[in-house]
Structure 1
Amino acid sequence: MSDSLDRRLGLTDTVVVGLGAMIGAGVFVVFAPAATAAGSSLLLGLALAAVVAYCNATSSARLAVRYPTSGGTYVYGRERLGPFWGYLAGWSFVVGKTASCAAMALTVGLYVWPGQAHVVAVAAVVALTALNYTGVRKTALLTRVIVAIVLVVLAVVVAMGLSGGTVDLEHLVPTGVAGVPQAAGLLFFAFAGYARVATLGEEVRDPARTIPRAISVALVITLIVYTAVAVTVLSVLGPDRLAASTAPLADAVRAAGAPGLAPLVTVGAAIAALGALLALILGVSRTVLAMARDRHLPVALAAVHPRFAVPHRAELAVGVVVAVAAATADLRAVIGFSSFGVLLYYAVANASAWTLDRRRWLVPGVGFAGCVLLAFTLPTASVLSGAAVVALGAVLYGVRSGARPSD
């Protein structure tokens, strides 16, 4: 039985997988906590998050061309910096994005059936894990439909919000920079989907050409969409109402005089969360596959299904862990935790890219510094819990490495 994955994805499907991860539930939930941190300086936080995301995307694209296999920065760190740094990147990605999966599943539950949010969240995880199990091509096709629906909903929100007569451009004027890094770190939660493209390196046709183009296109589209939505909710609601809102996009259309559109926004949020969850499970399972191949995780997880050509055991394992997290986690708590883990993951990516050509140091240098800054200006609870889990991963690596000579 072959342990190689089929190269089935072209440019369009690869871009859509990235968009499905980025333009997901994050755009419906992160602007409120970001406004709590930065107030009317929210757009500065968005700009900072975009700069860091651009650097990360550029570094990831350069590395993906050199190493077009599954695993993303886990592979890049291992090959460029050494086994420990690759492992630490993979560990940070898996734990951070597992938290993201739980956040997306809980978003579905909170919008669809608030009284039974955890039950709905677990059901969503089970259904999408089963879909991923049957093949990545079907996943990409469904993601394309989801992205189209979400973009239509966001377009309606922007159009109604900006034409409703309640826009106050004074709300867009920054009043300070004290909370901007923390806001950027929280907003980064909604940007990080381009990692899905890199982790699919083994399933993309002509990866040297397709992966860099797909990452760039997906990131530009996402930034345009997020900027439009941020301007809308901030100018319509103002920083104080936005910070207090639990459903800022729905509140924006209500404030604009179109309360009848609030259910549409609710449906869009649920669909977006499903799309993000679909792509996230896909990406995490590919990193688990790569780590299992190197025996940092149980080797049984490296199996590839003989019919569907997917890492089916890795996908099932990820699905089980995410289902447990979705049954017990709190939505707001996991956002900061996820951002911390993923920012560390991209710090390793930028450090790895710097070693490719040290004359081209600016982008990976800025990306590395930005990731560290944003990670350690997140809410204190997120930093402490994230650092503890990363430290646990390092201890496990040390224990396993120390035991290898006797194997």
Structure 2
Amino acid sequence: DLFAASERSAFFGVSEQRLGLQQDKVSQFLATIGKMVKELFQLVREIRILDERLTLYNASYRGDIPAEISLKGYWIDLVEGGAKTPSSVYGMARELGFITLPDLFFDAPPLQPDHVRNYVERLQFNKKLKEVLARKLVTFCVWKKHTHDELKNRRVFTVKYLRQHYDIIKMYMSWVKPYLRNVRRLQMDQKRMDSEHLIGAFEGSMVEIEVLAKRKAGEHKQAIIHLHFLFRTRPELKFQQEGYQRGPLHMGRTQMTLRGYCWDPDDLRRYRKFKEREDFALLASIDASVEAAYTALGEELERYLQQAGEDVSKDFAKQKQTPQKPHFNLLEPFLAPFKSPVPKEKKDLAMCPTCFKSVTKHDMFCKKCGFKLRKPSSEEAYKLKKEEEKGTKIVTSEIYTLYKRFKAAYGLAY
């Protein structure tokens, strides 16, 4: 239904007041969704950095020398402050007697804190240098162990928080959709607002209503009656003696149009899609923006959500159909004379491209959404033509009866 009202009418004021409340809610939800989608990129980036650091730790514990050297470089830069700090490995190398300290520190293999003493005692260097080297290696080993545990725990909590963040975005999107539908339904038709039948200084409104009735005319065809009502009314508020408030009385001119069609499920689906296209334009843009964010994050977001236990099959599913290889049997030539020449019918399951419902190769239309899956054969085309003729007769008879009863109800000649 579509409606419009003059700017000075009470109907316009009440409608715009309700529309404003819905728009405020929509703006709040959309602002929150946009903010949380922006934070989603930061969370994925943080988990990616944690994975990069944990890769070095895991390689170091497996005995990888380059990974151990990289961690030692991180330790010198982050913990000791780099070469600018006098007590760091690089800072002490500038003093006499400790020039070889960086080389000995980086040449040490991955060690446990308990094994550092035995390793240092086997070195052929002075006692003071070995004491400093042992102190640096023990401090580094303890730091590596604790930071490894800290990074693992931090990654677990961050992945769980990412899942919670993802679920909240989906929840807000499900919450905002009813408000968007309400906003679309509460908005007045601008074409009717510019009509010459509505004067801004007077009380007046126009309401347009469409009703679609259907009746089966066969296996596929349906008889459709389209009723279109156009009200050009003057709302009138009257004083009521009752204790509750009643709405305005709409009195005026009504224009009724009756149309008849004979459609198949695909025609009905396309008509509904055409009518819903404007209503869900904003919803589609929101879904597209969030989907674009998910696509930009790529497979990393999907992998992290799966690690957190989230079922993302519906959001990231990619239908991959692998062709099955024909089964070859060595006894096929000998068993062929005993087999029936008519092959057995197999229900080759496919999927509807619009609603993703399983269909068979024998289905002409999807049973759920009515999408036309294939062209009809000559026999099916003849059957559809007969059903269309039957549906045309039903529509003609029903519209004639409806109009006849309408004229009889209002005392018109027929």
TM-score normalised to structure 2 length: 0.22
- Which structure exhibits the higher relative contact order, with contacts defined as CA atoms closer than 8 Å and separated by 6 or more residues? 1
Higher share of residues assigned strand: 2
Greater C-alpha Rg: 2
TM-score by length of 1: 0.22
